[in-house]
Amino acid sequence: MSTTVGSSKDRKTCSIVRLPNAHRRVRMSVRKKIINSFIAAGVSIGLSAPVTTMAGGVPESDKPIKFMIADCTSIGLQAEIMTLILRTYGSNTELVVASDSARYPGFEAGDLHVSMETWQTTQHENLVKSVATGKVLDMGETGLKGVEDWWYPMYMKERCPGLPDWKALKQCGEVFATADTAPKGRYVGGPVSWGDHDANMIKALDLPFEIIHPGTDAAMFAELKAAYERNAPVILWVWEPHWVGSVYDGEFVKFPKFESECFTDPAWGPNPDLPGDCGKPYGWVKKMAWAGGEKVWPCAYEMIRNYNMDNATINTMLVEIDLNGRSDEEVATEWLKNNKDVWKPWTTCAG
């Protein structure tokens, strides 16, 4: 598993790296201080007294619950929120770096225990297969709604009448062109390692665009920032929840709505000869867990199942982390202090 999981001290790029920023690296010494302060003084996040055990005064297990993390802001943030809660109630937790696309063998083997983010847009098929082995649990939706698609600033709508309808793009390639792609439009996709079906979609929908793949997501959003400040042409891959919508005025292109037949049946969709003539799938974001942990940490698993978030709340916290330079730990701690009425009901099994 050396290529799949690793110590959080060696935090490195995952296969679907979304927001790698030096300032958001996990700083374990700071995190331990926060957790220890919670355990020593539970009132800091709203508990009436220090709590170090689950219901009945008996720790569920000394074994650490291993949470999957990556250099993806939202998964790290949600892991921080959940692990801080669990540690406050006596659970031992550990953050483990894992590749998004290669996580499943780790979960099935019990090397990884919990992921707070599994996206229907990219992981649905893998999750279904893994759950079918009986070794992995679908822990329910987080409440977040996942979107991944082409996005453009609103000023481009004036230059390409008909947007957000995808058919407008067939006439607007040159509007989005740059010197390196003219006369075709320039679409800023994700790093190649993320994987996508953009190339198939461009071909199937006969769009006059070329895909450019920056090396990191930081480079993607640096391009957006530079273009936005100059009102220059730009269209790129954006996902939700994300801070982009909180900072820039824009919208997603409306492609033919995804259905599974889009990828398998050429007759499906506007192009009867090729598959892939649809947008990216939109959908849920779920939690997943190693099935064996149900017997080891039943109350902790119940808390994880109860966890529920929404896009607006996460987006606000992502702005604080990715744009204002605050740490995951600091933002998670602040949210916990201010939202006891939201998260305390998740912990009823602990008394």
Task: Say what the pLDDT of residue 127 is.
Answer: 93
Model's pTM, two decimal places?
0.75
Residue 341 has pLDDT above 90, yes or no: yes
Q: How many domains does the chain have?
A: 2
Asked whether residue 273 is domain-assigned, the answer is no
Looking at the fold, whether 28 and 137 belong to one and the same domain comes out as yes
Looking at the fold, whether 32 and 139 belong to one and the same domain comes out as yes
pLDDT tens column, 177-198? 999 999 999 999 988 867 778 9
Task: Say what the pLDDT of residue 18 is.
Answer: 33
58 compared with 195, residue with greater pLDDT: 195
Asked whether residue 279 is domain-assigned, the answer is no
Asked whether residue 107 is domain-assigned, the answer is yes
Looking at the fold, whether 220 and 304 belong to one and the same domain comes out as no
Handedness of CA 100, 104, 106, 112 (dihedral sign): positive
User: For the chain, what is the total number of helices (H) and then of strands (E)?
Assistant: 14, 10
Which ranges in the chain belong to alpha helices (H)? 28-40, 73-88, 103-109, 120-132, 155-159, 198-204, 217-230, 244-247, 261-264, 293-296, 298-306, 311-318, 328-338, 340-343
Predicted confidence band of residue 122 (pLDDT cuts 50, 70, 90):
confident
Kindly state the average pLDDT of the residues 1-6.
Answer: 32
Domain final residue, candidates 211, 231, 264 = 264
Kindly state the average pLDDT of the residues 342-350.
Answer: 95
Q: Are 268 and 259 in contact (CB under 8 A)?
A: yes
Looking at the fold, whether 128 and 10 belong to one and the same domain comes out as yes
115 compared with 243, residue with greater pLDDT: 115
Looking at the fold, whether 170 and 260 belong to one and the same domain comes out as yes
Asked whether residue 211 is domain-assigned, the answer is yes
Asked whether residue 296 is domain-assigned, the answer is yes
Asked whether residue 12 is domain-assigned, the answer is yes
Task: Say what the pLDDT of residue 130 is.
Answer: 96
124 compared with 338, residue with greater pLDDT: 338
Residue 305 has pLDDT above 50, yes or no: yes
Kindly state the average pLDDT of the residues 210-218.
Answer: 88
Kindly state the average pLDDT of the residues 206-216.
Answer: 93
Domain CATH number, residue 55: 3.40.190.10
| Highest averaged pLDDT of the listed ranges 54-58, 282-286, 330-334 | 330-334
Looking at the fold, whether 289 and 140 belong to one and the same domain comes out as yes
Cis geometry, peptide bond prior to residue 266 (ω within 30 degrees of 0): no
Looking at the fold, whether 76 and 156 belong to one and the same domain comes out as no
Looking at the fold, whether 139 and 156 belong to one and the same domain comes out as no
Domain final residue, candidates 232, 264, 296 = 264
Looking at the fold, whether 28 and 138 belong to one and the same domain comes out as yes
Looking at the fold, whether 257 and 162 belong to one and the same domain comes out as yes
Looking at the fold, whether 68 and 193 belong to one and the same domain comes out as no
Question: Helices 28-40 and 328-338 sit at what angle, rounded to 10 degrees?
Answer: 20
H or E segment at 185? strand 185-188
Residue 48 has pLDDT above 70, yes or no: no
Which range marks the domain in which residue 77 is found? 5-144+285-350
Domain CATH number, residue 185: 3.40.190.100
Task: Quote the tokens at residue 3.
Answer: 């290529």
Looking at the fold, whether 129 and 152 belong to one and the same domain comes out as no
Q: Give 97's contacts (C-beta < 8 A, 6+ positions apart).
A: 5, 6, 7, 8, 10, 11, 12, 14, 68, 69, 70
Asked whether residue 333 is domain-assigned, the answer is yes
Residue 3 has pLDDT above 80, yes or no: no
pLDDT tens column, 123-141? 888 999 999 999 999 999 9
Predicted confidence band of residue 27 (pLDDT cuts 50, 70, 90):
very low
Asked whether residue 277 is domain-assigned, the answer is no
